Amino acid sequence: MSEVKFSKDHEWILPDGDEATVGITKHATEMLGDIVFAELPDKGSNVEKDGTAGVVESTKAASDVYTPVSGEVLDINQTIVDDPSKINEDPEGSAWFFKLKMKDVSELESLMNKDEYDKFAKENAS
Amino acid sequence: MEIKKTSLNKLHQDNKAKFVEFAGYEMPIQYSKGIVEEHKLTRSHSGIFDVSHMGQLFIYGDKTLTEDLEKIFPLNLKNLNINSSKYTFLMNEDAGIYDDLIITKLEEGYLIILNAACKDNDYKILSDLLKNKYKMNLDDKRSLIAIQGPKSVEILDSIISGVSELSFMTGNWFEYKNQKIFVTRSGYTGEDGFEISIINDLAEEFTRKLIDSGAQLVGLGARDTLRLEAGLCLYGHELGVDKTPIEANLKWAISKDRIVNGGFIGSDKIMSQISEGTKQIRVGIKPEGRLIAREKTKIFNETELVIGEITSGTFGPSVSGPVAMGYVKKEFSKKDTKVFLEVRGKKYPANICGLPFYKKSYVKGAIK
């Protein structure tokens, strides 16, 4: 079974073979506050590890969403574009952002596991 | 410089405020419910705002003070009733705005509510202009608490009996625990409400009483979305020394006889802008879809010419969509003019629209 991994930019990624689902963490949503806008990459586009792959905006500010690994965007979650408040409600579940066909599965190795991320998030909480 | 705290700081902490620094003060941007929730409960019920960082300037004097202030402000203060308030500006000779403010005529002089970031400079400018003829007190012994929203009148009247009889933009002295408090029926959210000037020692327990009576704390985040939906200007965004009240589309705030007769600081510029028009003007802007255009976003016309810039933009929880204000060249300021906003390198369609985005529900007359 694949393990969910986390990036320092507060994204989570759940691998499944050479595909993966990406979203932003609950910690990220708590820092952002109420999310009122989401922009996702185009289906079929290629995204580069740690590159921009979308935007979320709260009432306060805009924040880029980065992709933790490189790959081709297979699918996007239109429901969070239509109703961004869903991201606050279930960020690590139904409010996933996009699905990828990973270019290089070994890129996952540089990411954190849950315990490491929780520690990282705690240390970096503002 | 050490960050300043208001008398309600502990109350904010107890209510899990997220703090930001604003004009040198540690202020709550939001509490645990979040900006959207706090915004909505202000519109539907009653929200409490700590605005103690704002300046409360008391100037004491009689008829000559009124005459001297008329040389500064574009208002007919002679005809202003005691305990009535007006929205106005402190300007330079070119009608550039140093600050926007609310002035209330009192028996003993005037009370002027100033923006936090401007208050020290305002004090200096005003004491120079008044040549130190009058006793002035930028009172830091008093807190300022706003309560806004449709249930506020009921809640505040249960604590301070009689406030329900105040009409919009009037105030009066009341008593609370043997201390004088000054209550005005005003605010900056587009809702009916009050601002209460109260000595610091009583501010926290008074606010706790408002909470016990059903009002809830609301942070600066929702204050911003509320005022933007209401089409109200924020100093440093819509207003500044590079903008005049005419450009800001705030001519309504200038007393009619003062427009004709002038005689206040900046009056020549104001009069010439009224007769000749301005190059740019403040407008409401409604982006299509859900796109949020923030401050400094460039505004284009259909032929890709830059015609202006956004000064405030956010998501309006009560209109369920993005809202913005900005300045555009006069010829593009007509309602329903199609414009384009450049966000993250792409241009998105938007329309010039009337203000406010959200219709106000101020109380005009007193409720008996």
Residue B315 belongs to domain with CATH number? 2.40.30.110
Looking at the fold, whether B103 and B197 belong to one and the same domain comes out as no
Please tell me which of the candidates B290, B314, B344 has its beta carbon nearest to residue A59: B314
Per the structure, how many domains does chain B have? 3
Looking at the fold, whether B77 and B44 belong to one and the same domain comes out as no
pLDDT tens digits for A68-113?
Answer: 999 999 999 999 999 999 999 999 999 999 999 999 999 999 999 9
Looking at the fold, whether B41 and B148 belong to one and the same domain comes out as yes
Looking at the fold, whether B153 and B264 belong to one and the same domain comes out as no
CATH number at residue B218: 3.30.1360.120
| pLDDT band (50, 70, 90) for residue B356 | very high
Looking at the fold, whether B201 and B315 belong to one and the same domain comes out as no
The proportion of chain B whose per-residue pLDDT surpasses 70, expressed as a percent, equals 98
Domain stops at, among B110, B138, B166? B138
- Taking the C-alpha atoms of A53, A58, A63 and A64 in order, what is their torsion angle to the nearest 10 degrees? 0
* Binary contact (B30, A55; C-beta < 8 A): no
At residue B196, what are phi and psi to the nearest 5 degrees? -120, 120
Confidence check: pLDDT of B367 > 60: no
Give, as one character, the DSSP assignment of residue B66: H
B221 lies within 8 A of chain A by CB = yes
CATH number at residue B115: 3.30.70.1400
Q: Average pLDDT, stretch A32-56?
A: 95
Query: Which residue, B154, B168, B133, B220, is CA-closest to B362?
Result: B168
Q: In which residue are the tokens 């991994």 written?
A: A5
pLDDT tens digits for B56-72?
Answer: 999 999 999 999 999 99
Looking at the fold, whether B99 and B191 belong to one and the same domain comes out as no
Q: Which of left, alpha, beta for B6 (phi over 0: left; psi -120 to 50: alpha)?
A: beta
Instruction: Assess if residue B294 is contained within a domain.
Output: yes
| pLDDT band (50, 70, 90) for residue A61 | confident
Domain stops at, among B175, B194, B229? B229
- Residue to substitute from A35, A36, A63, interface B, most B β-carbons within 10 A: A36
User: Could you tell me the domains of chain A?
Assistant: 5-104 (2.40.50.100)
β-pairing verdict for B4-5 and B25-30: parallel
B309 close to B326: Cβ distance less than 8 angstroms: yes
Strand, helix or coil at B113?
strand
In angstroms, the Cα distances linking B199 to A92, B89, B145, B252 are 47, 26, 11, 33
Looking at the fold, whether B284 and B148 belong to one and the same domain comes out as no
Looking at the fold, whether B134 and B187 belong to one and the same domain comes out as no
β-pairing verdict for B109-114 and B18-22: unpaired
Rg (CA), chain B: 20
The proportion of chain A whose per-residue pLDDT surpasses 70, expressed as a percent, equals 98
pLDDT tens digits for B132-168?
Answer: 999 999 999 999 999 999 999 999 999 999 999 999 9
Instruction: Assess if residue B289 is contained within a domain.
Output: yes
Taking the CA of residue B1 as centre, how many other CA atoms within 13 Å lie in the half-sphere pointing to its CB? 8
Looking at the fold, whether B196 and B340 belong to one and the same domain comes out as no
Instruction: Assess if residue B319 is contained within a domain.
Output: yes
Instruction: Assess if residue B240 is contained within a domain.
Output: no
Please tell me which of the candidates A37, A58, A88 has its beta carbon nearest to residue B290: A37
Amino acid B366: pLDDT: 46
Instruction: Assess if residue B130 is contained within a domain.
Output: yes
Gap between the Cα atoms of A29 and A44, Å rounded: 27
Amino acid A124: pLDDT: 80
* Binary contact (B35, A58; C-beta < 8 A): yes
Longest CA–CA separation in chain A, Å:
39
Structure tokens at B215: 């009002």
Q: Average pLDDT, stretch B94-99?
A: 98
Gap between the Cα atoms of B225 and B318, Å rounded: 9
Task: Please give the residue range of the domain that contains residue B64.
Answer: 56-138
Amino acid B1: pLDDT: 78
Within 10 A of B146 (CB to CB), how many other CB atoms are there? 24
Domain stops at, among B105, B123, B138? B138
Looking at the fold, whether B279 and B305 belong to one and the same domain comes out as yes
Helices within chain A (DSSP H only): 26-32, 78-82, 85-89, 114-123
Query: Which residue, B342, B337, B282, is CA-closest to B306?
Result: B342
Q: Average pLDDT, stretch B239-266?
A: 97
Structure tokens at A56: 């979320």
Please tell me which of the candidates A55, A59, A84 has its beta carbon nearest to residue B35: A59
Instruction: Assess if residue B268 is contained within a domain.
Output: yes
| pLDDT band (50, 70, 90) for residue B364 | low
Q: Average pLDDT, stretch B223-237?
A: 97
| pLDDT band (50, 70, 90) for residue B368 | very low
Looking at the fold, whether B45 and B150 belong to one and the same domain comes out as yes
Query: Which residue, B198, B188, B185, B152, is CA-closest to B85?
Result: B185
B290 lies within 8 A of chain A by CB = yes
Instruction: Assess if residue B365 is contained within a domain.
Output: no
Say if residue B334 is exposed, middle or buried (CB neighbours under 10 Å; 0-12, 13-18, 19+): exposed
Confidence check: pLDDT of B101 > 50: yes
pLDDT tens digits for B17-39?
Answer: 999 999 999 999 999 999 999 99
Looking at the fold, whether B78 and B218 belong to one and the same domain comes out as no
Confidence check: pLDDT of A33 > 80: yes
